[in-house]
Structure 1
Amino acid sequence: MALVELTVIPLGTGSTSLSGFVAGCVKFLQQAEGIQYQLTPMGTIIEGELSVVLELARQMHEQPFLAGADRVTTTIRIDDRRDKEATMQGKVAAVESKLISAGGTD
């Protein structure tokens, strides 16, 4: 399972506000099956099979164009761990457990 951080930035929109475009991307993502996602202030993290998530990223990149943007730049970061299953929740829990344990380094 892959974790993918995606930031879609519409340009040429005539406004500095991008929340409407972001909402369009998230609405599209809400309809997707077989994935988990987390909206953050600077992007969206998607958890799922890599091929599925990459296709979703391509489709999310298209959403601002459909809403009238003249240009879109998309940044994608992929964490594809294959030795064991990695999840958003598991990665956060691993760090939090280190914070709780005394001198916890690994």
Structure 2
Amino acid sequence: MAIVEVTVIPVGTGSTSVSQYVAKCQKVLELEKEIQYQLTPMGTVIEGELDVLFNVLKKLHEVPFSEGAQRVVTSMRIDDRRDKKGSMDQKIRSVKEKL
């Protein structure tokens, strides 16, 4: 499984607030049964099979357009580890064990 950190930023909306777009993206994620996700203050972390994640990322990128934005900048970081199984929870546990 891969882990992706994604941030979707609508540009030129006339407002500095983006929470309405974040909420709509979270609703999209709620419908996706093949992934796990976690909202963070600066983005969302999603885990699942890479092909599934790419489809979900495209849906998230489209959300601001469907809400009237004319430009969207989406940033993502992909952690695709193949030497052993990993997850969001496993990564956090690993750090906590070392504290």
Q: Which TM-score bucket, shorter chain as reference?
A: over 0.9
Report the equivalent of 1:50.
Answer: 50
Report the equivalent of 1:87.
Answer: 87
Aligned residues: 99
Gaps of 5+ in 1: 100-106
Gaps of 5+ in 2: none
Give the Cα–Cα distance (whole angstroms) in 1 for the partners of residues 60 and 78 of structure 2: 16
Report the equivalent of 1:67.
Answer: 67
Q: Deviations over 1:6-61 (max 9, x none)?
A: 00000111111110011111111110011100000000000100110111001100
Equivalent position SS for 1:60: helix
Report the equivalent of 1:27.
Answer: 27
Equivalent position SS for 2:72: strand
Cα deviation, residue 71, structure 1: 0.6
Q: CA RMSD in A?
A: 0.6
Cα deviation, residue 89, structure 1: 0.3
**TM-score for both structures, normalised by structure 1:** 0.91
Give the Cα–Cα distance (whole angstroms) in 2 for the partners of residues 97 and 64 of structure 1: 39
Cα deviation, residue 78, structure 1: 0.2
Q: Deviations over 1:55-77 (max 9, x none)?
A: 10011000000001111000010
Equivalent position SS for 1:86: coil
Equivalent position SS for 2:7: strand
Equivalent position SS for 2:98: helix
Equivalent position SS for 1:90: helix
Report the equivalent of 1:16.
Answer: 16
